[in-house]
């Protein structure tokens, strides 16, 4: 999985039928230290991620193995909302602290 | 999924039998701000995308999971035509406005 | 799929049993304008592609979904011989014109 | 598979149901000579890897083929803890020597 | 498939149960002209490749489709030992000549 930040949304009314009901979120890849990378991608959201949240997303065929994406033509799926990131013994990100 | 712009077509009369009837479109990868990247690829079209349209395409095995590409040897499939892209609260692309 | 040019062959007599009978072709990745990229790869040929021909190849699991590669351990398969490439309204490649 | 070093952890309480009970470890890609690369990723741990250990991880669909990750939406799974790395006849890494 | 040179081995006694009995070889990616690239990877060996040999390896899910890797969590498998590489009409590599 990779770390990403939710930076926006993509709306598409004309799409493959199996894509109906899914929300497309724009993610920007993020390093563990919180710095954002140049690369972006579009993922379907299965966990209710909101703007600016840090998430974990799965790529490839495993994107179809969440509770709601079985047999759907998706290749990036958000599978978790990140609470905290620790590198060595140092906390790099803490959602509660940020929102507190 | 990734954002791409339809920039052309590839014609191939001699091909694997399961590829018959599919249209091969040339896509150029696009960043959410509308800038085009250097990378291009060939995707099959399942949604009727036209020249210069912005689309979402799926890669890998999930390309075979649309309504019409089951068991077909494709690794890039257009799954949606993009209506709008929003980054933060800013609209980066609006198909209706562009065509209006 | 990606565009590639057939630049050579790889011979391997000692190989996985399911690979028997397949021809391994060396491909160089090609941009739609005909320029060759640095990257090369080895693909199995299912359409009878010859030296210097421009082809479409499929990557990953979909390489196993042609008429002849079912359950074979291949990750790049040539699925079509390209007749022509058009970008915008400009013809970038025309096999018939080149050979005519 | 690729070589990686365990550099941290990611905690995510809100996640896809099938992800429950898995530990998310931050890995940094490593060259055979022990130098760390810029790229990092998040993998599930199936072998009990600890901080600073050198591991082998599998990517893509094969991440779902360990004893405990069947049908789980994971795309990076740690499948082994590395004891030693030898390049040519030279030992580049020896866990026992390091810990001894 | 890609061309690689066997440059070393990785030993891992603590690993996923299905990995038992497989040999992990370190490969360095190779261009058709014999020059080695910076990238390396770990592959399981199914054909008895030895030190310094040039091999073809398969990536992703197709790595599980050799005679011996069915349902194993591997993403790089050596599927052939290369005898010769020809680019255009020029021989770039000939194992017999090298060993003769």
CB distance from C86 to chain B under 8 Å? yes
- What mean pLDDT is predicted for residues C53-75? 97
Q: Residue D49's pLDDT is what?
A: 97
Residue A26 touches chain B, beta carbons under 8 Å: yes
Decide: D28 and D62 in contact? Cβ < 8 Å: no
Q: How far is B32 from chain A (nearest CA, A)?
A: 8
With beta carbons less than 8 A apart as the criterion, state whether D56 and E12 touch.
Answer: yes
* pLDDT tens per residue across span E44-78: 999 999 999 999 999 999 999 999 999 999 999 99
Distance CA B74, CA C60 (A): 9
Q: How many CB pairs under 8 A join A and B?
A: 97
pLDDT at residue E98 in the model: 75
**Is A60 close to D60, i.e. CB distance below 8 A?**
yes
A7, A38 contact by CB (below 8 A): no
- Digit-coded pLDDT (tens) for A45-80: 999 999 999 999 999 999 999 999 999 999 999 999
Place of tokens 């759907």: A72
Residue E100's pLDDT band, with cuts at 50, 70 and 90, is low
Query: Could you report the predicted ipTM of this complex, rounded to two decimals?
Result: 0.96
- The total of other beta-carbon atoms located within 10 Å of residue D100's CB is 6
Q: What is the pTM of this model?
A: 0.96
The domains located in chain A, with CATH, are 2-99 (2.40.50.220)
Closest CA to E29 of E19, E40, E18: E40
Cβ contacts of B84 within 8 Å, gap of 6 or more: A10, A11, B91, B93, B94, B95, B96
Pairing between strand D2-11 and D54-59?
antiparallel
Tens of pLDDT, residues B28-69: 999 999 999 999 999 999 999 999 999 999 999 999 999 999
**What tens digit of pLDDT does each residue of D71-100 get?**
999 999 999 999 999 999 999 999 998 776
C37 interfacial to chain E (CB closer than 8 Å): no
CA angle C71, C73, C76 (to 5 degrees): 110
What residues of A are in contact with residue B70 (Cβ under 8 Å)? none
Helices (H), chain D: 95-99
Interface of D with A in 60-79 (CB under 8 A): 60-61, 63-64, 71-76
Would you report the helix, strand and coil content of chain A in percent, each value rounded to 5? 15, 50, 35
């Amino acid at each position: 999985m990779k770390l990403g930040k939710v930076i926006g949304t993509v709306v598409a009314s004309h799409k493959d039928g199996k894509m109906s009901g899914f929300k497309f979120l724009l993610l920007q890849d993020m390093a563990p230290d919180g710095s954002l990378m140049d690369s972006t991608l579009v993922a379907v959201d299965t966990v209710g991620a909101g703007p600016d949240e840090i998430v974990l997303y799965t790529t490839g065929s495993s994107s179809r193995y969440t509770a709601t994406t079985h047999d759907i033509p998706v290749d990036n799926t958000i599978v978790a909302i990140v609470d905290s990131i620790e590198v060595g013994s140092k906390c790099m990100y803490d959602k509660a602290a940020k929102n507190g």
